[in-house]
Structure 1
């Protein structure tokens, strides 16, 4: 009887050990099968974007003028696809995106981002004008409360080096599917940051203003779909919508108080590749 009791205890012990071992194995497998979800995870991403902007009112002020152009139309300016997209010495020419993410807790990442968009005012348009210009030459271009921008003499206006949105965001991640070599992870969140454009502006035939300057702020909501291959190689597609307010756009090269201001909504779709790894064992 004692022998039988001893055998039973031994079997119970083996069963308990087996269950514990299976639990540990399951947890290890779960850890392996969930990239972009664990505390201590890091990812680095680089990609390219297309962007769209709502029409905006642009207000210009300076010595001898104070006026507004209403409902101005603008578009992005993507670089023609070629080797320039993969040459590190030319990476700022394209409309690019950079991300550095760190998971501060499971499923939640703090993400530093640079969105290098390009904003170009359509030249072939006539817009509503309100305000005053003291220079009779340029005041004379205003007809019936409107001004035609097509000849480029009145104004050229773009943020092409570029419309730089430097932002910090929080992103929540959720694993959608896992297999041996590929994991699909959904992310969503929001961000806030500063606008640091290099605006190319030429107003009234003055020398073109072309310099980096903190001009305002931006905020956004974003969502992404991530495919992670072999636990490290990442492909990412992201959509983003947000608001930009630039209240201090430099329009001259000197220290005069000349400036412009505008605000608008933007949308962006970007795609690219990255690498992810876990800093914690």
Structure 2
């Protein structure tokens, strides 16, 4: 009986020791298991600090009526409530030929996300502004030249024959602007994202104004003429992670106090201010400046 008891104790001790050994080995393996870094997920497009996008598109514009004040040697007058329109180019190869891109009413943007969902955006809005020729407008002021003073009848002047004035910013009404835009992801699918943005911008007006006043040689040159500001909102459809279709609407205010009207730098000039609206659409590309697994 004693022998059986000794054998039983020896076997139980062996079994207990084996279990303890197995447990220690498992714990040791857990302790020395290699550390696996958490995999970083690629962020949504148009959302993370460090992301960049570029965009190119085309616009249509609308302008509020404005009072245009002209001053120079022998004249100082104002045309009241002058109406204008944009000048879209007929659709064709000119929209895609890079050697002719300035002919169209185009927009360019480059944006950088300074914070998550917040981007600073540098833009060029190449709009076109054409005074409607077939209109009669109010007149106040004086003109010393009897020929052109005689065109004023009962406080109004008829512009339709082009002899008194032709007035355009068609090369163009260039708004060089810096904006701040907030972005929000509305839809996130495997290969499709829909992102909404809103913001505001401010910038300088750098028009090439085509103006012919009183039969003078046409003034046609680039010149910093004033400033503009705007509010904007856009929808951005991002597909295949990087490509983007953007549709944007904006409304703003333009004040140009130094428009060159003749080839004489001084004192001939005009000034005007007006509100504007713009819709635009085009294609872009978005990418990360940081690496993600």
Q: Same fold (TM over 0.5)?
A: yes
1:182 corresponds to 2:168: no
User: Where does structure 1 differ by over 6 angstroms across 4 or more consecutive aligned residues?
Assistant: none
1:73 corresponds to 2:73: no
Within 2, Cα distance between the matches of 1:257 and 1:66? 11
In the other structure, the counterpart of 2:274 is 264
1:159 corresponds to 2:173: no
Residue 209 of structure 1 is aligned with which of 206, 219, 230?
219
2:90 is paired with a residue of what secondary structure? coil
CA positional deviation for 1:256:
2.6
Within 2, Cα distance between the matches of 1:40 and 1:158? 41
1:54 corresponds to 2:64: yes
CA positional deviation for 1:103:
0.5
Within 2, Cα distance between the matches of 1:156 and 1:170? 36
1:272 is paired with a residue of what secondary structure? strand
Within 1, Cα distance between the matches of 2:249 and 2:160? 33
Residue 128 of structure 2 is aligned with which of 118, 123, 127?
118
1:241 is paired with a residue of what secondary structure? strand
**Number of residues of Structure 1 aligned to a counterpart in Structure 2:** 269
Instruction: State the superposition RMSD in angstroms.
Output: 2.1
Unaligned runs of 5+ in 2: 1-15
CA positional deviation for 1:158:
0.5
1:64 corresponds to 2:74: yes
Within 2, Cα distance between the matches of 1:89 and 1:36? 30
CA positional deviation for 1:255:
2.2
Residue 141 of structure 1 is aligned with which of 145, 151, 167?
151
2:161 is paired with a residue of what secondary structure? coil
Bigger mean CA deviation after superposition, 253-262 or 150-159: 253-262
CA displacement, residues 31-72 of structure 1 (integer Å, 9 cap, x when unaligned): 34x100011101110000000000000000000000000000
Aligned pairs for 1:3-152 within 5 A: 24-25=38-39, 28=41, 31-32=42-43, 34-152=44-162
CA positional deviation for 1:254:
2.6
